[in-house]
């Protein structure tokens, strides 16, 4: 069959959903094609027995409160999607074992955050003040940049917002050092590096602080109906506004005209033509589905220079005891073997660090009464981890990894869970590869390496992937991974498409 | 960089000069990269494994047919290379295969447990045992039509009825009823061959002695491996050496070792599940220690306490699929999935028991009933009106939006 639309959105992940929702809202004839039979991509959930597990979301950044909504809540409000969520009061508990180890809990809210950091790392006061100042300056600079529509006056930037430029061009660790934080305080403050997947001595400081500020301001946002509830809500808004969604529909080819313009996509023999195509699918896969003559040398080289971000092994564990009975008090616990993200990162497949969430702490009735669920996320490098894993020993491989991390958690926290496991499911890079088709099973798109960090990407964005008729959105774009930024990137893609269509007089 | 070196940089003044270097560094990095084609996604290890473990559909060929009893046949299936299936997807003992076929003008799928072992699949074959169900559409079709050389289509192995050492007790008391022996035969073989390591005490019930499947094999396994034991229970016959009647909680308690935790795995007809639900209550087992295979399609809603029989015996079901609307008839006592299949609509399905979510569809209007024990929908699905048509029954005329059945991947 041959279909014609204003816009085709390929992939119903976070970015694709928000893009399609906004485009449908704008009254365009939109269709979204998704290879899986559910919307959301990683923003999904899985049911085992009487448990429904959150599949991927730890916490939403930058949500604000119901009364004073910030970015993420505003996105849902703007798209007319009901997205009930709670604000978790603690940022995290970080347990570092071994020499110089610590067990620190940081609280959300500016004053409480400072108080808890000072309590954990006495003498940080002065540095905290400087950090606050830096965060404020960064915010001002961004506001100025927005006012100038992304074309700021260079001199103003240099003289008025030099602090921002510094944060924008140094690593987290460099900036925290320059602010005079102690080794322990730096380590504590850098705990979130995992969410961006690059160690703190390489990770762009501006990028990281943006996220940190988002969490400090309103605490982690936890959706009441799991991230799948948000996905389904967005899908509903697409349908409500007259858009179409086709599930079980895997795009296998991007269609170009002689002018190297994307004019549509093909899926299982059907062709979908459109004035504009939005791809929530990672550029690597789009290039695999495009003929070489239609792609630019520069873009191919960029993709070949890039490395993929982290993947994860996830354990979804349903326990037949409540969180209170087990003594679980924290929503988010980071466990690390050593206190430097760099040594962890260089440690190959086993990064010696993982995050454990207990959803019931934030959303008490997330599982039936008398039970609770735990979600372990273990960041991994797919290549090294999967070395030696064969189809025949895959089941055993999953059991062994689960056993190892559960035992470690028990040992580190003193909380015993292994004898109350009622359900368990294990996801690996193979799972990511299976459901999302992401190359190497990456969960985080492209690695935010020093040379390819947020600032570098933003500054170059205008010159990259200049493919007519095609706009990318999602965690693999300039803004990097993360739920909130992916939703935002979808809206940006939609805005771009709307502007382009306007130019063309549609 | 070593820690020492980095310590040496403490207090280092940061400059905005770095900002100016961002673009040149990036440019250089990209210029130095090769201009080869972007590496194929399928060539990365996780993607390659995903392709082998989850091929979607598999083209198979029947290579052996054996009569096990009067109404049960054993089928051996191998990869159909001529149709592009190079190797069989691996599976854990206890998995099932869903077969897809066209019977008359209807499109059907049915799950059958794999009764061969994981290593057999490595060697190149799966086995399933199919009982001819009186009046049954697919089982009779299979019995009549599957011969050596018949080409068939199966989905990838699926299911959650697997032994999981992190969760289950090391000692598993397996309760099998009739054809429900199939996944346990796979587990017994898996233990023998070393794919799995747990203790199996199998209590196998059938109506009559001659209906017991794999009898010699099971006795042989019990004789050679001390981790395995088998006892038989006959409901319609009294014979020396066999238990009589149904499987009781006392038989289970007897198989248990003093004080040691044990898991109970159950596979059999729906009647047996319902009966054992009550029978095992007396043992006060934690839910975590009782696992049963999928319930299967519910044919008789009168057992469901909260089911309110609607006024009419038949309804109009409007199915929209990829924008095309078709109105069909749906009987009161058949699932929406069955109605679609009878009408020749290719709707996705796998477990046919409400669990896998493969048939996930949107209820556009009208109402339907989902039995509580088959309702494994996600919370948000219920909020937004999504249903699993394999276990949804009409209460009024209704319209549903159904995704196309996935295309063959290989
Ligand atoms: C996980 C799993 C594993 C399984 N493994 C095996 C296995 O190893 N071996 C095996 O033999 N089977 C197995 N089954 C059962 C199998 O999938 C089929 O259900 C079985 O073969 C009957 O299918 P059928 O098409 O012949 O019967 P169906 O046509 O589905 O009919 C079954 C019965 O229902 C009656 N019926 C049909 N339609 C209606 C209706 N509308 N209203 C009322 N009654 C109706 C029929 O008369 C018949 O008595 C398994 C099922 C599951 C869920
Ligand atoms: S086919 Fe599995 S839930 Fe319907």
- Which chain B residue has the Cα nearest residue A451? B26
pLDDT, tens digit (0-9, with 9 covering 90-100), for B50-64: 999 999 999 999 999
Helix (H) or strand (E) holding B209: none
Res B337 pLDDT > 60: yes
Residue B312 contacts A, CB cutoff 8 Å: no
Residue ranges of domains in chain B: 49-155, 171-292, 314-401
Residue B291, Cα to own-chain centre: how many angstroms?
13
User: Confidence class of residue A391 from pLDDT cuts 50, 70 and 90?
Assistant: very high
Q: How many CB atoms lie within 10 A of CB A231?
A: 25
Q: Which pLDDT value is given to residue B9?
A: 41
Considering only CA atoms, which of B291, B277, B217 is closest in space to residue B246? B277
3-state secondary structure A38-76: CCECCCCEEEECCEEEECCCCCECCCECCCCECHHHHHH
Q: Kindly state the average pLDDT of the residues B336-363.
A: 96
Q: Which pLDDT value is given to residue B6?
A: 43
* Yes or no, beta carbons of B380 and A232 under 8 Å apart: yes
Considering only CA atoms, which of B69, B244, B252, B67 is closest in space to residue B169? B252
Cα–Cα distance measured from residue A307 to residue A323, given in angstroms and rounded to the nearest whole number? 39
Output the DSSP codes for A105-141: EEESSHHHHHHHHHHHSTT-HHHHHHHHHHHHHHHHH
CB A32 within 8 A of CB A86: no
Q: In A, which residues are within 8 Å of B44 by CB distance?
A: 382-383, 433, 439-441
CB B399 within 8 A of CB B366: yes
Res B86 pLDDT > 60: yes
Residue B33 contacts A, CB cutoff 8 Å: yes
CB B316 within 8 A of CB B397: yes
Q: Kindly state the average pLDDT of the residues B263-268.
A: 98
User: Confidence class of residue A340 from pLDDT cuts 50, 70 and 90?
Assistant: low
User: Confidence class of residue B253 from pLDDT cuts 50, 70 and 90?
Assistant: very high
pLDDT, tens digit (0-9, with 9 covering 90-100), for A77-114: 999 999 999 999 999 999 999 888 999 999 999 999 99
Res B408 pLDDT > 50: no
User: Confidence class of residue B17 from pLDDT cuts 50, 70 and 90?
Assistant: confident
Cα–Cα distance measured from residue A469 to residue A259, given in angstroms and rounded to the nearest whole number? 11
**Maximum Cα interatomic distance, chain B, rounded to a whole number of Å:** 92
Mean pLDDT score of chain A, rounded to an integer?
Answer: 93
Considering only CA atoms, which of B177, B288, B291, B285 is closest in space to residue B234? B177
Res A397 pLDDT > 90: yes
pLDDT, tens digit (0-9, with 9 covering 90-100), for B299-310: 889 889 999 999
Q: Which pLDDT value is given to residue A39?
A: 97
Chain B window 7-26: which residues touch A at a Cβ cutoff of 8 Å?
9-16, 18-19, 21-23, 25-26
Residue B308 contacts A, CB cutoff 8 Å: no
Pocket residues: Cβ below 6 A from ligand 1: B 96, 110-113, 128-131, 133-140, 179, 182, 293-294, 296, 299, 331, 333-334, 352-353
Cα–Cα distance measured from residue B338 to residue B119, given in angstroms and rounded to the nearest whole number? 35
Considering only CA atoms, which of A331, A364, A336 is closest in space to residue A60? A331
Q: Is B231 exposed, middle or buried (0-12, 13-18, 19+ CB in 10 A)?
A: middle
pLDDT, tens digit (0-9, with 9 covering 90-100), for A430-440: 999 999 999 99
Pocket residues: Cβ below 6 A from ligand 2: B 349-352, 354-359, 388, 390
Task: Name the CATH superfamily housing domain B49-155.
Answer: Translation factors (2.40.30.10)
Residue B288 structure tokens: 């975590």
Q: Which of A458-472, B117-131, B327-341 has the lowest mean pLDDT?
A: A458-472
CB B139 within 8 A of CB B129: no
Residue ranges of domains in chain A: 2-83+225-307+446-503, 110-213, 310-436
* Preferred mutation among B8, B12, B36, B50 to probe A, highest tally of A CBs within 10 A: B50
Residue B50 contacts A, CB cutoff 8 Å: yes
How far does residue B136's CA lie from ligand 1's centre (Å)?
6
Residue A13 DSSP class: B
Considering only CA atoms, which of B340, B337, B327 is closest in space to residue B357? B337
Fold of A2-83+225-307+446-503: FAD/NAD(P)-binding domain (3.50.50)
pLDDT, tens digit (0-9, with 9 covering 90-100), for A211-266: 898 899 888 899 999 999 999 999 999 999 999 999 999 999 999 999 999 999 99
Residue B16 structure tokens: 């905005």
User: Confidence class of residue B1 from pLDDT cuts 50, 70 and 90?
Assistant: very low
CB B319 within 8 A of CB B398: no
Task: Classify residue B292 as left (phi > 0), alpha (psi -120 to 50) or beta.
Answer: beta
Cα–Cα distance measured from residue B385 to residue B371, given in angstroms and rounded to the nearest whole number? 16
User: Confidence class of residue B259 from pLDDT cuts 50, 70 and 90?
Assistant: confident
b/e per residue B66-100 (b: at least 16 CB within 10 A): eebbeebbbbbbbbbeeeebeebbbbbbbbbbbbb
Q: Which of A108-117, B60-69, B252-261 has the lowest mean pLDDT?
A: B252-261
Residue A36 structure tokens: 């899986």
3-state secondary structure B65-103: EEECCCCEEEEEEEECHHHCCCCCCCCCCCCEEEEEEEE
Instruction: Tell how many helices (H) and how many strands (E) occur in chain B.
Output: 11, 19
Res B407 pLDDT > 80: no
Of B46, B92, B287, which has the smallest distance from its Cβ to A382's Cβ? B46
Mean pLDDT score of chain B, rounded to an integer?
Answer: 94
Cα–Cα distance measured from residue B9 to residue A441, given in angstroms and rounded to the nearest whole number? 37
Q: How many CB atoms lie within 10 A of CB A474?
A: 28
User: Confidence class of residue A339 from pLDDT cuts 50, 70 and 90?
Assistant: low
CB B122 within 8 A of CB B195: no
How far does residue A314's CA lie from ligand 2's centre (Å)?
24
Sole residue written with tokens 């305080």: A185
User: B331 to chain A nearest CA, in Å?
Assistant: 26
Q: Which pLDDT value is given to residue A347?
A: 59
Residue B47 contacts A, CB cutoff 8 Å: yes
Q: Which of A355-364, A386-395, B14-23, B32-41 has the lowest mean pLDDT?
A: B14-23
CB A39 within 8 A of CB A12: yes
Res B13 pLDDT > 80: no
CATH for B171-292, options being 3.40.50.80, 1.10.10.10, 3.60.15.10, 3.40.1020.10 = 3.40.50.80
Pocket test for ligand 2, best of B96, B99, B356, B406 (most atoms within 8 A of CB): B356
Considering only CA atoms, which of A306, A345, A311, A310 is closest in space to residue A478? A306
Output the DSSP codes for A132-199: HHHHHHHHHHHHHHHHTTT---HHHHHHH-HHHHHHHHSBHHHHHHHTT--HHHHHHHTTTHHHHTS-
Nearest CA to ligand 2 atom 3: B354
Give me the torsion for CA of A183, A189, A192, A194, rounded to 10°: -10
Of A166, A285, A311, which has the smallest distance from its Cβ to B14's Cβ? A166
Q: How many residues does chain A have?
A: 506
CA geometry: angle at A262 spanning A261 and A264, to 5°?
145
Res B322 pLDDT > 50: yes
Q: Is A258 exposed, middle or buried (0-12, 13-18, 19+ CB in 10 A)?
A: exposed
User: A234 to chain B nearest CA, in Å?
Assistant: 11
* Yes or no, beta carbons of B19 and A169 under 8 Å apart: yes
User: Confidence class of residue A506 from pLDDT cuts 50, 70 and 90?
Assistant: low
Q: Which atom of ligand 1 is nearest to the CA of B134?
A: 49
Q: Which of B11-20, B121-130, B153-162, B256-265 has the lowest mean pLDDT?
A: B11-20
pLDDT, tens digit (0-9, with 9 covering 90-100), for A2-38: 999 999 999 999 999 999 999 999 999 999 999 999 9
CB B262 within 8 A of CB B321: no
Cα–Cα distance measured from residue B81 to residue B58, given in angstroms and rounded to the nearest whole number? 10
CB B189 within 8 A of CB B181: no
CB B337 within 8 A of CB B410: no
Nearest CA to ligand 1 atom 32: B136
Q: Is the pTM of this model over 0.90?
A: yes
Q: Is B319 exposed, middle or buried (0-12, 13-18, 19+ CB in 10 A)?
A: buried
CB A81 within 8 A of CB A234: yes
Q: Kindly state the average pLDDT of the residues B361-378.
A: 97
Query: Domain B314-401 has what CATH class?
Result: alpha beta
Backbone angles phi, psi at B238, to 5 degrees: -110, 120
Residue B253 contacts A, CB cutoff 8 Å: no
Helix (H) or strand (E) holding A487: helix A483-503
**Maximum Cα interatomic distance, chain A, rounded to a whole number of Å:** 69
Residue B150 structure tokens: 């018949």
% of chain A residues with pLDDT over 70: 98
Residue B34 contacts A, CB cutoff 8 Å: yes
User: Confidence class of residue A140 from pLDDT cuts 50, 70 and 90?
Assistant: confident
List all residues 6 or more positions away from A97 whose beta carbon is below 8 Å from its beta carbon: A335, A336, A337, A412
A and B: number of Cβ contacts within 8 A:
223
């Amino acid at each position: 069959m041959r279909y014609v639309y204003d816009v085709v959105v390929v992939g119903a992940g976070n970015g694709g959903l928000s893009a399609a929702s906004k485009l449908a809202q704008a009254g365009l004839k939109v269709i979204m094609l998704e290879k899986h039979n559910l919307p959301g991509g990683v923003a999904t959930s899985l049911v085992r027995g009487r448990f429904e597990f959150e599949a991927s979301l730890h916490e939403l950044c930058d949500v604000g409160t119901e009364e004073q909504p910030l970015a993420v809540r505003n996105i849902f409000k703007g798209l007319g999607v009901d997205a009930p969520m709670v604000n978790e009061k603690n940022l995290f508990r970080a347990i570092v074992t071994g020499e110089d180890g610590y067990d620190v809990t940081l609280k959300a809210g500016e004053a409480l955050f400072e108080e808890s950091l000072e309590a954990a790392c006495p003498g940080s006061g002065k540095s905290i003040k400087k950090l606050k100042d830096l965060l404020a300056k960064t915010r001002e600079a961004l506001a100025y940049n927005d006012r100038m529509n992304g074309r700021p006056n260079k001199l103003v930037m240099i003289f008025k917002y030099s602090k921002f430029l510094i944060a924008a061009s140094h690593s987290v660790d460099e900036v925290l050092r320059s602010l005079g934080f102690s080794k322990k305080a730096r380590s504590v403050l850098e705990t979130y590096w995992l969410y961006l997947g690059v160690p703190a001595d390489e990770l762009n400081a501006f990028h990281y602080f943006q996220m940190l500020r988002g969490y400090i301001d309103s605490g982690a946002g936890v959706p009441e109906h799991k991230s799948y509830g948000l996905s389904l809500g967005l899908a509903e808004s697409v349908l409500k506004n007259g858009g179409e969604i086709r599930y079980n529909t895997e795009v296998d080819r991007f269609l170009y005209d002689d002018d190297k313009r994307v004019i549509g996509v093909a899926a299982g023999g059907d062709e979908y033509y459109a004035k504009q195509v939005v791809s929530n699918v990672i550029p690597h896969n789009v290039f695999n589905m495009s003929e070489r003559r239609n792609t630019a040398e520069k873009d191919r080289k960029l993709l070949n220079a890039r490395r993929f971000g982290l993947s994860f092994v996830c354990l979804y564990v349903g326990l037949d005891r409540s969180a209170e009975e087990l003594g679980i008090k924290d929503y988010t616990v980071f466990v690390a073997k050593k206190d430097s993200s760099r040594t962890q990162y260089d440690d190959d497949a086993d990064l010696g660090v993982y995050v454990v969430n207990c959803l019931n702490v934030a959303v008490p009735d997330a599982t039936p009464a008398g039970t609770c669920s735990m979600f372990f996320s273990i960041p991994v490098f797919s290549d090294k981890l999967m070395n030696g894993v064969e189809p025949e020993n895959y089941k055993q491989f999953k059991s062994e990894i689960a056993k190892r991390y559960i035992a470690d958690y028990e040992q580190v926290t003193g909380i015993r869970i292994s004898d109350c496991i009622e359900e368990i499911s294990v996801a690996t890079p193979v799972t990511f590869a299976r459901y999302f088709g992401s190359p190497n099973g990456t969960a985080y798109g492209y690695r935010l390496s020093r040379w390819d960090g947020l600032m570098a990407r933003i500054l170059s964005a205008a010159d990259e992937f200049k493919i007519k008729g095609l706009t990318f959105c999602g965690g693999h774009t300039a803004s990097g991974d993360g739920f909130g930024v992916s939703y935002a990137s979808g809206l940006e893609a939609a805005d771009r498409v709307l502007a382009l269509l306007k130019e063309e007089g549609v | 960089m070593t820690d020492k070196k980095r310590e040496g940089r403490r207090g280092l003044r940061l400059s905005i000069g770095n900002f100016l270097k961002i673009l040149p560094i990036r440019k250089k990095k990209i210029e130095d990269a090769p201009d080869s084609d972007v590496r194929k996604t399928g060539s990365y290890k996780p993607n390659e494994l995903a392709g082998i473990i989850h091929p979607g559909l598999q083209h198979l060929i029947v290579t052996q047919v054996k009569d096990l009893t009067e109404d049960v046949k054993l089928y051996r299936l191998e990869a159909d290379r001529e149709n592009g299936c190079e190797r069989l997807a691996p599976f854990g003992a206890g998995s099932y295969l869903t077969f897809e076929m066209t019977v008359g003008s209807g499109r059907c799928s049915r799950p059958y447990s794999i009764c061969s072992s994981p290593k057999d699949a490595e060697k190149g074959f799966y086995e399933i045992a199919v009982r001819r169900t009186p009046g049954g559409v697919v089982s009779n079709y299979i019995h009549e039509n599957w011969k050596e050389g018949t080409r068939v289509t199966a989905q990838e192995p699926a299911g959650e009825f697997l032994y999981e050492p992190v969760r289950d007790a090391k000692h598993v008391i397996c309760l099998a009823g009739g054809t429900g022996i199939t996944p346990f035969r796979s587990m017994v073989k898996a233990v023998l061959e070393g794919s799995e390591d747990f203790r199996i005490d199998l209590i196998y019930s059938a109506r009559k002695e001659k209906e017991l499947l794999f009898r010699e094999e099971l006795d042989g396994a019990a004789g050679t491996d001390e981790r395995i034991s088998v006892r038989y229970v006959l409901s319609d016959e009294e014979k020396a050496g066999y238990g009589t009647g149904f499987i009781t909680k006392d038989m289970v308690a007897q198989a248990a070792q003093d004080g040691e935790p044990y898991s109970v795995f159950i596979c059999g007809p729906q009647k047996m599940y319902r009966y054992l639900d009550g029978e095992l209550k007396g043992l006060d087992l934690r839910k975590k220690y009782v696992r049963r295979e999928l319930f299967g399609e519910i044919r008789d809603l009168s057992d469901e306490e909260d089911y309110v029989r609607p006024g009419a015996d038949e309804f109009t079901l409007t199915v929209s699929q990829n924008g095309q609307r078709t109105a069909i008839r749906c009987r009161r006592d058949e699932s929406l999935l069955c109605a679609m299949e009878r009408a020749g609509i290719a709707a996705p399905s796998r477990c046919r028991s409400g669990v896998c979510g493969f048939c996930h569809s949107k209820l556009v209007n009208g109402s339907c009933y989902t039995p509580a024990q088959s309702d494994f929908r996600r919370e948000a699905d219920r909020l937004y009106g999504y249903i699993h048509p394999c276990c949804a029954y009409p209460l009024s005329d209704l319209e549903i939006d159904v995704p196309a059945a996935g295309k063959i991947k290989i």
